[in-house]
């Protein structure tokens, strides 16, 4: 587990699995989304629904994502997804994700997102309070 | 919570929600499936993937389901799904599900399932050890 | 195919299938939703997104649904979903759905929905123009 | 549309859309999977379920994928996904995908996949007949 990473654990469900008996790869992106929500709630103290979306009227669409699938994941396994910050821009930021089962690497991803004002659908600066809390998950900062 | 029910708690995720901002109703059926898995694991001590599917080579397809949606569920809410047994047949069994958030009813369902042998895709008796453990979740039995 | 039914054809995709190699039952409810959209567009001439949701600001949540699964559906099959109206109330209406592959029955469902005004989230009468077009799909009417 | 690309058209459904009213990004990966199936069926004449999976007992897991999201997609839009081959290796191959609505670019992706024998879960050479048909979708070849 990388230093300063936020960990979210996910049980591999029957509903995630495909006819090969392993996680159908689009479901990993659902789990990335869940991990982002868990990080907002438990990592940067800004619940995704009530605080971020409803009260601040912000959204955080992905601009790009790259994922590598190292080994498949099977029903009943617990997938740990570790998330950390690799770049904090003005409106955009980049996250790394590493997925493992009992310490064995299964996948990794790099995800670029952008904060937008839902009223205008345009990019808006990352709020200062969130930015400072996001910095705690940025390993490269001393 | 009904007597003898098994409770499984589910966080309502962004991925469950539709353009109306509430859970898209097909996602509830995914959550019913998750609750069934949790019950197999934590209620009748037969992990769904390894023990039930792999070692015993059994599956448990639904024959029918009825669901009533009383009130919508929103992002960030914790949906408690209570499951209990309403009938135990030879190969088939019936479950009731009641969904609530902080005690407020949101939905209920009646689900009829059947144990099949995956080698033949045909109905097979509910194994005796599982049957006796399922009885513990049947309120009508004294 | 029942008289006056609206037919929507769906290819069974890899993404619909579970580790048993057949459609995972919650995915049928996604297909019911798609069939409803196709009926709004092609049956009652009210495109679901632009006209019904955006311009009229209406939504049509399900109140209850019952489904029976007669035979499984496999990857690559074309599932025909026939939809017709079984009751037209003030705000609510009921639909029947019958699913078949090459004429062989696979599943059926009964679905009760309700028109709501999205501004208030409260029931609102079925608009007159939609009601009259819905009647064309009601077999019991002469 | 790039030369030699295979086009698959997808209607944006209510079930694809999130609380922002646009396609939830993991659903694009489901659509990529559907496009791959359509290409197997209509482009390289090897139906994905019956021929590729059942008779040849092959699977084609993704090794990595990169996607860029240029503009959101909304309910009721028709998303054209153009697919072509950028590299043909021994067991692995790379695809490009470009998504557009009425000619306007919305997203693009680069996808690396690998043919495996489902009996061993190990990489196996791309079958010769498929390889030669795949070459027809490789723009860089004269």
Of D25, D46, D135, D41, give the one whose Cα is nearest residue D84: D135
Rounded Cα distance between C35 and C8, Å, is 6
Other Cβ atoms closer than 10 A to B73: 24
CB-count exposure of residue B79 (10 Å: 0-12, 13-18, 19+): buried
Is the CB of residue C66 less than 8 Å away from at least one CB of chain B? yes
Give B47's contacts in chain A (Cβ within 8 Å): 76
* Min Cα separation D14/chain C (Å): 8
Give C12's contacts in chain D (Cβ within 8 Å): 49
Give B21's contacts in chain D (Cβ within 8 Å): 19
Whether residue A14 and residue B49 make contact (CB cut-off 8 A), yes or no, is: yes
Q: Which tokens go with D31?
A: 């659509």
Question: Which of the residues D19, D28, D73 would you substitute to probe the B interface, choosing the one with the greatest number of B C-beta atoms within 10 Å?
Answer: D19
Whether residue B21 and residue D26 make contact (CB cut-off 8 A), yes or no, is: no
Is the CB of residue B54 less than 8 Å away from at least one CB of chain C? no
Nearest CB to D69; choose among A24, A26, A62: A62
Confidence of residue B20 (pLDDT cuts 50, 70, 90): confident
Is the CB of residue A103 less than 8 Å away from at least one CB of chain D? no
Rounded Cα distance between A88 and A91, Å, is 8
Mean pLDDT, residues C27-39: 98
Rounded Cα distance between D10 and A36, Å, is 28
Rounded Cα distance between D140 and D87, Å, is 9
Nearest CB to C26; choose among A15, A19, A20: A15
Nearest CB to B49; choose among A15, A30, A74: A74
Nearest CB to D48; choose among C14, C33, C49: C14
Does the reported pTM lie above 0.90?
Answer: yes
Nearest CB to A50; choose among B47, B50, B76: B76
CB within 8 Å of C95: residues ≥ 6 apart: C36, C83, C84, C85, C86, C110, C111, C112, C113
Q: H/E/C letters for each residue in chain A?
A: CCCCCEEEEEECCHHHECCCCEECHHHHHHHHHHHHHHHHHHCCCCCHHHHHHHHCCEECCEEEEEEEECCCCECCCEEEEEEEEEEECCCEEEEEEEEEECCEEEEEEEEEEECEECCCCEECCCCHHHHHHHHCCCCCCC
CB within 8 Å of D122: residues ≥ 6 apart: D116
Residues 22-41 of D with CB under 8 A from B: 24, 26
Of C88, C138, C84, C82, give the one whose Cα is nearest residue C113: C88
Average pLDDT, chain D: 95
What's the pLDDT at C20? 83
Is the CB of residue A17 less than 8 Å away from at least one CB of chain C? yes
For chain B, give the percent of residues with pLDDT over 90: 90
Q: Which tokens go with A51?
A: 């605080």
Q: How many CB pairs under 8 A join B and C?
A: 57
Rounded Cα distance between A117 and D70, Å, is 17
CA quadruple A72, A68, A6, A62: dihedral, nearest 10: -120
What's the pLDDT at D19? 87
Tell me the pLDDT tens digit for each residue of A71-80: 999 999 999 9
Tell me the pLDDT tens digit for each residue of A6-46: 999 999 999 999 988 899 999 999 999 999 999 999 999 99
Report whether pLDDT(D142) > 80: no
What's the pLDDT at C141? 63
Mean pLDDT, residues D9-35: 95
């Amino acid at each position: 587990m990388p230093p300063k990473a936020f960990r979210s654990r996910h049980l591999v469900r029957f509903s995630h699995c495909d006819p090969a008996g392993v996680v159908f790869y689009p479901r990993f992106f659902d789990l990335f989304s869940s991990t982002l929500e868990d990080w907002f709630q438990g990592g940067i103290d800004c619940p995704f629904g009530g605080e971020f979306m409803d009260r601040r009227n912000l959204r955080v669409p992905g601009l790009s994502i790259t994922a590598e699938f190292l080994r498949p994941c099977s029903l009943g396994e617990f997938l740990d997804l570790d998330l950390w910050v690799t770049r904090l821009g003005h409106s955009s930021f980049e996250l790394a994700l590493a997925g493992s089962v009992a310490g064995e690497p299964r996948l990794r991803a790099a995800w670029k997102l952008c904060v937008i004002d839902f009223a205008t659908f345009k990019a808006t600066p990352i709020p200062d309070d969130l930015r400072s809390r996001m910095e705690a998950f940025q390993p490269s900062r001393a």
